[in-house]
Structure 1
């Protein structure tokens, strides 16, 4: 995020709070600090919120599949079960969605990029660490069993491996569908990748609904792990979605997965260049200064003054007294505290622990994330910290208009309003701040943190499933504050 100039990809108007006026009296013991319980009400795209260990089922069958180079390692066992499962999915769903029989892929390859090199699809496996891919020349799905798959499982769990291989099968599906998915030699990379992410989302729903004989997926932590893995494998800030090889920002990729999860594979095949041009947020840095700083601003009281200005202007249509940002220890003298940022109702103030916010706001190290070697000094980025502040600011706005402030709907409304604020910042109307490439991804990274306040109610109780959290932020960003009012009541 930066101060000063403007860049716009969406049209926004000043945010006006139009919540239903509901009387609410908030209570809290003096000095009480809330660590944040999980709110499990509601559903996940029509499915119940479930909690259990996700991954291979106990007693899952051994798939009747062979892959060149495969070993008896757990990584390969997991990969082969994933391939068998996604094959089962498409054998059942392709005739229903596309009136076409699914033909299994011709070849499977497991390789160790640190060992014997092999030429495959015009490249050497020694150069393909941290990769899984579909090779149309051989109709082959291949995976790095030594580096990528163990890292995915360690960081996110077994379902992350299944999700990545499901994405690669999405490209095989495109090859089979051809014009039914609008795919030809001229189709851009971003359209192909968005479709493949979307196809993977449709497969994940099939598992979550209990249709898989190999895997089980909870709609809380399990789906969070899938989204987290996909988010990690995103393009760096400043990439351009029109470039060859573009996969999309984390914001764009999670959108596509959720689209498939909610609407199914037939909808995925409808993603085309016009849709990509309309909604993809991935854009390059607009000037040399932004490229040099990677769009990151210092987390200081000076920048917080810009945040205050931006929030005040964005929510000026609410007709309530705006909360004031104050520097402190992130707690309230009275009532409930949610450090490192607390909305103090009695004083109508947002108390900030600037030291902790500065740690959150340090630039992320995406390359280190991809190798499992995160730097202790790395954070999530400036907009992650600013979004935490905005999430507590909008508590005062919601209280002022009489909207319910507790529970999962209040938490999701909060995330939605943070998204609506981001939309406003990104518009020509925004004052003081403008979004830089990567800022929306920083907000999603914060949303996926266990301690995040972005989708938490006034007492810091956060919504259990990351799917709903991300969807709420996106709804606010794409549709504005009216969507927050209409959707989260």
Structure 2
């Protein structure tokens, strides 16, 4: 994040305030259902009933087969009502490749879909369509070693998610692409994957289940799958930023395939952008920590909320931002046991520099805007306080997280003297996921990381009216 010229913001963490404000036991669920129970065992599809060419039937092939079978079931049911035409199964088949055992004898003519060499899928998974001159198109192929590595790092559902994304491209091949721009095509496929995942989470899939907590891992997996920070939206292979991809997935999860069909036209907003200068590229879009805490965070939060409340016909007095080390200041005679707090008694936002903001600023997925996102949550409680609204309970926490999203969108759209940098909003997603279950941070809110990101996304995309503070 940057001022003009460009500088940046950071990330802190939100805990619970003991006394006047207690962020504990709260629950704000914006999704229908959370996940199929852990005990919901689903039978595997027999290899003979759903052939995958080249498969060894290891764990990855099993997960992929189960996913692909259920994807066919889901789209056979959803396709006619969504697109007004019958669903046709893929004609080119499915291919599993082990890059360490490239045996051409296992594949027709030694090739995978669209007549490609078997090593074309190394380190990847992709759908290829039946374009003129491409034999054996309309096929999905995957590197099972690559998917296994993803599963090891981000959970056993990730290979299924990749299959759902590639199947989204097969859907597009049947009905047309939203616009001829890669980022729209790819994020729409993420949306289709989200719609299918919601069906799985609802317990309707014959061969797939997703356990509580795995939705957080699904979103974390998108961090690995995002474009490199600084990629422009017009790049020929652009897939989207972390926020763009997660947002598309959650849109499908929340609103179903019709929203995916209609929501990815040329006017769809994206947070991904290219670096604007060599200086920004070298810094990764991050301002110095001292500038972030001393000027960028307080200035941007104060500017945005002063203007926002003026628009609601209300005055606003910015809360004090108060750093501390190890032990939060007392609040109304109570000792908060948290790393980031809002105290209604003196209208202050405190943050633990030693345990939270400095380490988070230096972390691989952190940076300047992660701190400001975290600080924006209790700052949102200060906004609610000055509007005479509750700062306690599930509704207040949900509203504050949403308000942090609305603030982020305000910075993105030039409503403050501070400007967003590439990757800043991705830091918001990482913060919400990584600290959702931290007992000193967001765990006491009662929200999963998936839910926190969904509430934040609502604020980014829909603004203040969606955050329960005004029409």
- TM-score interval for Structure 1 and Structure 2 normalised by the shorter chain: 0.7 to 0.9
- What's the RMSD between the two structures over aligned residues? 3.1
CA distance, structure 1, for counterparts of residue 414 and residue 17 of structure 2: 40
Q: How does 1:9-88 map to 2 (within 5 A)?
A: 28=18, 39-44=26-31, 47-49=32-34, 52-53=37-38, 57-62=41-46, 64-88=49-73
Count of aligned pairs between the two proteins: 436
Which residues in structure 2 correspond to 1:77-476 (within 5 Å)? 77-98=62-83, 99-116=85-102, 120=112, 126=119, 128-136=121-129, 137=134, 138-146=137-145, 148-178=146-176, 182=178, 187-217=180-210, 221-276=213-268, 279-300=269-290, 303-316=293-306, 317=309, 318-329=314-325, 331-334=328-331, 335=334, 337=336, 339-355=338-354, 356-362=356-362, 378-431=364-417, 433-451=418-436, 461-476=444-459
**Distance (Å, rounded) in 2 between the aligned partners of 1:271 and 1:388:** 29
Cα distance change, pair 123–414 in 1 and its aligned pair in 2 (3 A): farther
SS in 1 for 2:434: coil
Q: Say whether 1:477 aligns with 2:470.
A: no
Secondary structure in structure 1 of the residue aligned to 2:157? helix
Pair 390,84 (structure 1): closer, same or farther in 2 beyond 3 Å? same
Are the structure 2 counterparts of residues 257 and 378 from structure 1 closer, same or farther at C-alpha, using a change threshold of 3 Å? closer
Q: Secondary structure at the match of 1:361?
A: helix
The equivalent residue for 2:10 is none
Single out whichever of 111-120 and 208-217 deviates more from structure 2.
111-120
Segments of 4+ in structure 1 off by > 4 A? 117-129
State the alpha-carbon separation in 1 of the partners of residues 347 and 374 from structure 2: 17
SS in 2 for 1:396: helix
Structure 2 equivalent of residue 16 of structure 1: none
Give distance in 1, aligned partners of 2:270 and 2:30.
27
SS at match of 1:461: helix
Query: What CA distance in whole angstroms lies between the structure 2 residues aligned with 1:392 and 1:162?
Result: 37
Q: Distance in 2 between matches of 1:105 and 1:226?
A: 29
TM-score normalised by the chain length of structure 2: 0.83
- Give distance in 1, aligned partners of 2:393 and 2:34: 15
- The answer to which of 341-350 and 190-199 deviates more is 341-350
* Structure 1 residues 396 and 265, CA gap change in structure 2 (3 angstroms): closer
Cα distance change of structure 1 residues 156 and 105 upon mapping to structure 2, 3 Å threshold: farther
**Which secondary structure does the structure 1 equivalent of 2:336 belong to?**
coil
Whether contact under 8 Å (1:207, 1:215) holds in the other structure is yes
After TM superposition, give the deviation of residue 58 of structure 1 in Å.
4.4
SS at 1:296 equivalent: coil
Q: Is the CA contact (8 Å cut-off) linking 2:178 and 2:184 kept in structure 1? A: no
SS of alignment partner, residue 342 of structure 1? strand
C-alpha contact 1:446 1:452 (8 A) present in aligned 2: no
- Aligned-pair distance for 1:308? 0.9
Inter-CA distance 37–348: structure 2 relative to 1 (3 Å threshold): closer
Structure 1 position 246, deviation (Å): 0.6
3-state SS of 1:269 partner: helix
Q: Indicate the residue corresponding to 2:13 in structure 1.
A: none
SS at match of 1:378: coil
Q: Is the 8 A contact 1:300 1:358 kept in 2?
A: no
SS of the residue corresponding to residue 261 of structure 1 reads helix
Q: 1:359 to 1:105 in 2, by over 3 A?
A: farther
TM-score (norm 1): 0.80
SS at match of 1:192: helix
**CA gap 1:155/1:320 in 2 versus in 1, 3 angstroms:** same
Using the TM superposition, give the Cα deviation of residue 441 of structure 1 relative to its aligned residue in structure 2, in angstroms: 0.8
Q: 1:43, CA displacement in angstroms?
A: 4.5
Residue 435 (structure 1) shift: 0.6
Question: What do the CA deviations read for 1:397-440 (whole angstroms, capped 9, x no partner)?
Answer: 22232222223222221111111222222233312x21101111
SS at match of 1:337: coil
Distance 1:381 1:395, change over 3 A: same
Residue 106 of structure 1 contacts residue 139 of structure 1 at CA under 8 Å; is this kept in 2?
yes
CA contact (8 A) 2:29 2:451 kept: no
Structure 1: give runs of 5+ residues left out of the alignment: 8-25, 363-376
Tell me the CA shift for residue 51 of structure 1: 7.0
Judged with a 3 Å threshold, the aligned counterparts in structure 2 of structure 1 residues 452 and 2 are, in CA distance, closer, same or farther, namely: farther
Q: 1:261 offset after TM fit, Å?
A: 2.1
Q: For each residue in 1:157-185, what CA deviation from the matched residue of structure 2 results, as whole angstroms up to 9, or x when unmatched? A: 2222211111001111111223xx557xx
